[in-house]
Amino acid sequence: MKFEGIYTPIITPFSNDGEIDWNTYAEVIDWQIENGVAGIIVGGSTGEFYALSKEERIQQFKFAADRINGRVEFMAGVNDIRVDECIDISLAASAAGANSLLVAAPPYSLPSEEELAHHVLKIAETVGLPIMLYNYPGRTGVGMGEIFLAAVEKNPLIAAIKESSGDYSRLPLISSKFPSIELAVGGEEQVLEFAAWGAKSWVCATANFFPSECVQLMDILGKQSDFEKGRLLMSAFMPLMKALEQGGKFLQCVKFGCEQQGRPGGNVRAPLLPMDESLKQEMKIIIEDTRNSLNSILN
């Protein structure tokens, strides 16, 4: 399986009483598809999977599969602290109609690279769907190093890796030493560097509120290899991406960005808390400046 284009890990909109707002969730899915994304990721960290019950997560898979209805790829985030729950959720995603899985290391347990490889290969064997690995040691506590990659690379279901370590030396390593595993952009502010090393896909939280612009940027870099225009667009995006990645309020800022674009966002679930007014004002300016800069380049 080849990944190309934008894969949006969509937000989960909540109603005022804290429940999933399914009507709004349908709008979120439709708007992404209308704006040309290649795939929708349900159950990612941007969707606050860790704050949802198992039943809610499975219900999301079923709802999203019906709503997407084959129009774009449906990728399911299936990570969990318990391995048996991860297997159950993976099977539920497959039963619902997922086309592929996004798989990270189980957090907190700190498995060795060999143990982590066993975990991932067990999911592949059990479910039989293509897997995009998710390397984010800052969240999981362990990295997908060379021992791990060497152990999983021969399995044809291990198709790609969302590289979110922030370690630029990983890009040439994966591209040259493990070419069977596609490189997918995993850091909002690192798209240029990933594209230079051959990445054709981007798991893109920013696409929750700038989907068309992100689709165009990945097309310019991944398909056209137009790095001159790509640098212009990245310069326009960088203040926003820096605020998202380094501001400490990632999810709140993503949902607020949706609202500033006239899209539903809503509150985050505990343990996260709403943004304060000073950050909202700062983000308003950044988002407006980003919108104006992108429009001047693309239009």
* Token representation of residue 75: 């990728």
Most confident range (mean pLDDT) of 147-151, 164-168, 271-275 is 147-151
18 token code pair: 């804290």
pLDDT at 162 over 90: yes
Q: Which CATH architecture has domain 5-224?
A: Alpha-Beta Barrel (3.20)
CA distance 41 to 30: 13
Eight-class DSSP state of 279: H
* Domain segments of the chain as ranges: 5-224
Question: Is the pLDDT at 159 greater than 90, yes or no?
Answer: yes
pLDDT at 54: 97
Return the structure tokens found at 76.
Answer: 């399911």
pLDDT computed for residue 222 by the predictor: 93
At which residue do the structure tokens 């890796």 appear? 161
Residues annotated catalytic, as ranges: 134, 162
pLDDT digits (tens, 9 = 90+) for 207-231: 999 999 999 999 999 999 999 999 9
Residue 1: the pLDDT is 78
The average confidence (pLDDT) of the chain is 96
Backbone angles phi, psi at 48, to 5 degrees: 60, 40
On whether the CB atoms of residues 181 and 133 are closer than 8 A, the answer is: yes
Q: Is the pLDDT of residue 87 over 90?
A: yes
Q: How far apart are CA 112 and CA 145, in angstroms?
A: 10
CA-wise closest residue to 86 among 118, 39, 113: 118
Helix axes 211-218, 277-298, angle to 10 degrees: 50
Tokens matching residue 286: 């950044």
> Which residues are CB-neighbours of 45 under 8 A, at least 6 positions away?
9, 77, 139
